[in-house]
């Protein structure tokens, strides 16, 4: 009997017991600072001639760990190991493959505080955001295991006399998973175990900012008993081993989450046919957004303001679903802006390990420099209402920033920034608000705040995003509840945490037998 899916509950950090568990986990994680993390190929730990430091963005003087970088020769070994393991892994029954995922989910639950602490220190997420990252990873394991079991059942076909007909799903082969740093456990887990549970083998290249979290994921999958070579972990730069993986003729599919620039390169490069390649590579790419929240004249403004702040400044605006444009009806504009600025100025900023801080640091110096560059652009395109500066602290801290007077086609209204920068756009009515919201090359998430049912229905039809929310924030999609993925330059249409996601990493085979 296939179990029902249930989302992992968030940890209640108002409970003193949970607070103490987190403090102990953070202390333990700091005691492991400076540890080396090897590559994993065919189940064996591998060192290379080069390694790099992973630092705590809340305090760059702290080295969370060192990871070894793969070169092309090591990467080729990983591809061969995955190819060899595929021949046996594809024969493992879906029920057994699902069992590995269920076991890994149970292990993550046991190690939840440890994983949350690792994300806090290496990624700069506050306690609640980091805990949500772990919970989402657990959800992906459980959900994809259940979905794989459903797909393994006899598929409904029309019946004809004299034939027995069957359709079932078979794996593709060896795939590359290139995961991002902003959800270092959740997205990495979902991108890896979805293809895995369908019988594919994986070469996993996590983001270089968060190798320690990736190593902990690998430990859990090994402890769950996943056979050697089914997942092979390689760290390294996208320009070197990333290119090698994407262009390799032995790779059957590529699963990518990251920037538009890199995603479009992967789509172009991955679709080239190389000598010895028998297939057209499947490419799934999730590439970000320029998400808008519309606040209509008939909205509950105070509720909308709270959710705009959560969407724009939660995890420092470093979510592909983050709100970066608030499109506000002129009739309620002044009060809404006054409330937004007042509440933004009250946000507490500091080290992610301090539970009281809502905002932590940006991920690294490059992110900080990019943010400050866009502040300069904003000063030429609009008027700053609050924020705009780097904080005088040792980490990569900046102020949450709001600009008004931004034109819909301005750079601040069109380009993904990936930082706590919100642009305000005043509109005369709801129709103009929808036109402005759709006037970007992206189409990932959006929210509409209104108590007018007809306006919500118009948005349902005309707001062109993959995830549309009414009277709630634009972030925090739940696995199995809000299948996640967008249109246009936001991606290739994959819906992570949805019913059809696993079909991207399988192919349907129909068999007919005359009776």
What are the catalytic residues? 286, 320
| Other C-beta atoms lying within 10 Å of the C-beta of residue 169 | 18
Question: For the sheet containing 291-295, what is the strand order?
Answer: 383-386, 401-404, 421-427, 323-329, 291-295, 445-449, 467-470
Helix/strand/coil for 507: strand
DSSP string, 1-44: -PPPP-PPPPP-TTSHHHHHHHHHHHHHHHHTTTEEE-EEETTE
Alpha-carbon separation of residue 53 from 69, 126, 137, 179, 235 (angstroms): 10, 22, 25, 18, 12
Q: Are 472 and 294 in contact (CB under 8 A)?
A: no
Please list, in sequence order, all residues whose beta carbon lies within 8 angstroms of the beta carbon of residue 69, skipping any fewer than 6 positions away.
48, 50, 51, 52, 235, 236, 237
Q: Are 456 and 463 in contact (CB under 8 A)?
A: no
CA distance 170 to 404: 53
Q: Is 391 exposed, middle or buried (0-12, 13-18, 19+ CB in 10 A)?
A: middle
What is the C-alpha R_g of the chain?
Answer: 23
């Amino acid at each position: 009997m296939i179990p029902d899916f249930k989302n992992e509950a968030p940890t209640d950090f108002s409970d003193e017991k949970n607070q103490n568990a987190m403090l102990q986990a953070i202390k333990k994680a700091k005691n492991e600072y400076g540890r080396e993390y090897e590559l994993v190929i065919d189940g064996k730990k591998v060192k290379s001639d080069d390694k790099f430091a992973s630092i705590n963005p809340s305090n760059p003087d702290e080295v969370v760990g060192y990871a070894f970088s793969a070169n092309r020769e090591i990467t080729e070994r990983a591809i061969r190991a995955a190819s060899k393991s595929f021949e046996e892994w594809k024969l493992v029954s879906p029920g057994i493959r699902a069992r590995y995922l269920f076991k890994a989910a149970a292990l993550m639950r046991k190690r939840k505080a440890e994983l949350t602490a690792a994300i806090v220190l290496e990624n700069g997420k506050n306690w609640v955001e980091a805990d949500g990252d772990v919970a989402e990873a657990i959800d992906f394991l459980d959900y994809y295991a259940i979905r794989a079991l459903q797909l393994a059942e006899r598929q409904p076909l029309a019946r004809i006399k004299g034939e027995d007909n069957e359709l079932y799903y078979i794996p593709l082969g060896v795939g590359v998973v290139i995961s991002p740093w902003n959800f270092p456990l959740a997205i990495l887990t979902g991108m890896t175990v979805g293809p895995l549970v369908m019988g594919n083998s994986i070469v996993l290249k996590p983001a270089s900012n968060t190798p320690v979290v990736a190593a902990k994921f690998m430990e859990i999958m090994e402890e769950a008993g996943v056979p050697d070579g089914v997942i092979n972990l390689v760290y390294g730069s996208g320009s070197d081993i990333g290119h090698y993986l994407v262009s390799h003729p032995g790779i059957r599919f590529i699963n990518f989450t990251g920037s538009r620039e890199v995603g479009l390169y992967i789509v172009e490069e991955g679709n080239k046919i190389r000598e010895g390649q028998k297939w057209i590579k499947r490419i799934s790419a999730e590439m970000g957004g320029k998400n808008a929240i519309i606040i209509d004249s008939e909205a509950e403004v105070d509720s909308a303001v709270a959710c705009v702040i959560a969407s724009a400044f939660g995890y420092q605006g470093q979510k592909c679903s983050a709100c970066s444009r608030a499109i506000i009806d002129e009739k309620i504009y002044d009060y809404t802006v006054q409330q937004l600025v007042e509440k933004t100025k009250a946000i507490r900023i500091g080290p992610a390990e301090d539970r009281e801080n809502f905002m932590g640091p940006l991920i690294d110096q490059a992110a900080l420099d990019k943010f400050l560059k866009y502040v300069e652009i904003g000063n030429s395109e609009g008027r700053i209402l609050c924020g705009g500066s780097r904080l005088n602290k040792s980490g990569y801290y900046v102020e949450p920033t709001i600009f008004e007077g931004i034109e819909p086609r301005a750079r601040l209204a069109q380009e993904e920034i990936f930082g706590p920068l919100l642009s305000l756009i005043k509109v005369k009515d709801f129709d103009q608000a929808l036109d402005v919201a759709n006037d970007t090359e992206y189409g990932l998430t959006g929210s509409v705040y209104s108590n007018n049912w007809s306006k919500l229905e118009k948005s349902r039809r005309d707001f062109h995003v993959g995830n549309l929310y009414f009277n709630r924030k634009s972030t925090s999609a739940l696995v199995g509840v809000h299948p996640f993925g967008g249109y246009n330059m936001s991606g290739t249409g994959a819906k992570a945490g949805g019913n059809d996601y696993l079909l991207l990493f399988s192919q349907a085979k129909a068999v007919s037998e005359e009776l």
